[in-house]
Structure 1
Amino acid sequence: MWCGVLLDNNLAESRLSSDDTGASSMAEMGMSVLAGSAVMSLTLIWPSVIVFGSYHLADDDETILPQLPDEELSFLTKLTAYGLTTDSETSYTARLMLVSMIPFLILQLPPIINSPSVARVIVLIALIISLSFFIAYIVYQNKLLKLLSINGKANVQLIKNLYKELDKNHDGKVTSAELKTLLMGIQVQADGELSQDLVDRIMDQLDITGDDSIQEDEFVRNADEEQQEALIPKDPNVNAQTSVWEYLEASALILIGIVVTILIARPLITNIANFATDAHVPSFFIPYFVIPCAIGIPRLLSTIASASQKTQRAASLTLSQIYSGLFMSNMSSLSTFLLTVYIKDVAWDVSAEVLVVLVVCVVMGIFTSTRTVFPLWTGFVGYLFYLISILMLYLLTVVWGWS
């Protein structure tokens, strides 16, 4: 396991001098970071949606939290009286995350069978499945964005229904915060994060009157392609050609991303080894805590800000973002790992990381896909699950030496 490389800088350099060992360490490093990121997403970021987005369940009308004095309820009472609800689409997104566990489950077979030739075939099968899932999900998201049009013309009624979903307080205006929940739900940025600058720019584009809100006629007008045809002539063949090129471009970006990751991962291991040695940081914390925190803290803050709207829609879209983002992260990271292992044909052992990702994602996936009501206590149980997951990783990798 790559954590062993971090224990001694000289040992790390000697191991990285071998191409095969370097490739193996590089691949296993990616899986270690994947395990740490998955644990953080589902046991730190996910519970924060419940804790910071909770409201009184008795007044669940998808509006802001009722003005009830805090002293009326004790903390223990709030654990069940407060919480949030989600829509059925959120449960569906959680099931999609569960589907991403299929290649992880397949990777449990090589240590059991203990045959190098069979293990190589299993790696290839898992690679094909993970790449297929990754590409299919990109196509799926692209299809969702096209549902607002019919034969190249705006589906005005569907657009109006979407506007009503956004305008939760029914004041005839969509604010920047309400728009942000929609953009988070449809994953307009591949990295799962959403900058306020992007929201502001989209708001400026839609806000024709400049009153810092979007009225229904503005929303429909900007989405209506018929009004744009007078300005931009359209070729009837452009849509089909563009669609094909979009898929080809998406596939090319996936391959480029994987290649770039492979190229930069090896020097990253060396730098992490140097950092761990110089800073006297225990090697275990680097992939499972330090790197995930560096990546996930901005996303955590953004998630808390969105969940703080305390509406069912905000909670549903925020949780859906977590599930879909984890699906993309699982498939892209696993594809990179499997591609490296298969091409280099190197020895690998990430059974501990794969097992922890399986346990955390399956437990949280089943729990969140079978219910739409989440009392406040579920958030604190989620935080507790983080400590359990980190302890599980420590026991498997350091104490019992699985990797």
Structure 2
Amino acid sequence: MNKMYQTFIKPWIEHTRKERALKVQLISGVLDHAQNDMVGRLLKDDGTPDKDAIKRLFGEVDSDGSNNVSRSELEKIVKETHFGRGVDSDEAVTKLLHDLDVNKDDEISENEFVDGFTKWLNSNSNQAASSKSSSHEPHQTWEEVEKVMEGNQTKGVSAWLEALAYVFLGIIMLSLLAEPLIHSVQNFSEAAGISSFFISFIIVPLATNFREATSAIKEASHKKSSNTSHTMYEVSHVPGSSQINNSVDS
């Protein structure tokens, strides 16, 4: 179990964390750049996304006026955004395009752009309002899983060693006891003139299980006799049974 965790589960957890953190960083960076350096505030006074402002942003990003944002136009915005170290621009463009391009035609239409930025703004607002309660719960859950798995690592090793010790002990006992038993079966077979196969698979199992079989039969017989006695006792104490017996005797 620990080997499977180290090989598959833990790398997947780390990859998922990095992907989530990178996506949050990219979206926050693009939104900050758009609001600070391009069209200004993208939210209304009540905190909801301003779709008119998002459409104006779309018009600025769509530099060639094709009513679609191409990969190269999105790449220009990414390069103008200061994400900091560790962010590859090509990877950032690919992830943002994947999130915005719903119909997967490698272009972002105005509706896709507005819907995508609306989703980003709502998500960003929710994270700002309850960042500790919402964003740390999945991390805390996976951290608890890691602690449990790492805590069981030592126990798992000791359990494996103990199991191997029992296996080797069983092999040693089998090696010591099997040969005398084989010789005894062969000697009995030669003396009685009976096939060793018959002795090994019929007589020996019957002999080893005879005691358990007789005990089970005796117990079953005892239960049957007890049930019979109990039944007769109940019949004899049924109301009116004495009158029936007297009438039969008369």
**TM-score between the two structures when normalised by the length of structure 2:** 0.33
Which has the larger share of helix? 2
| Largest Rg, 1 or 2 | 2
Q: Report 1 or 2 for greater relative contact order, CA contacts < 8 Å, sequence distance ≥ 6.
A: 1
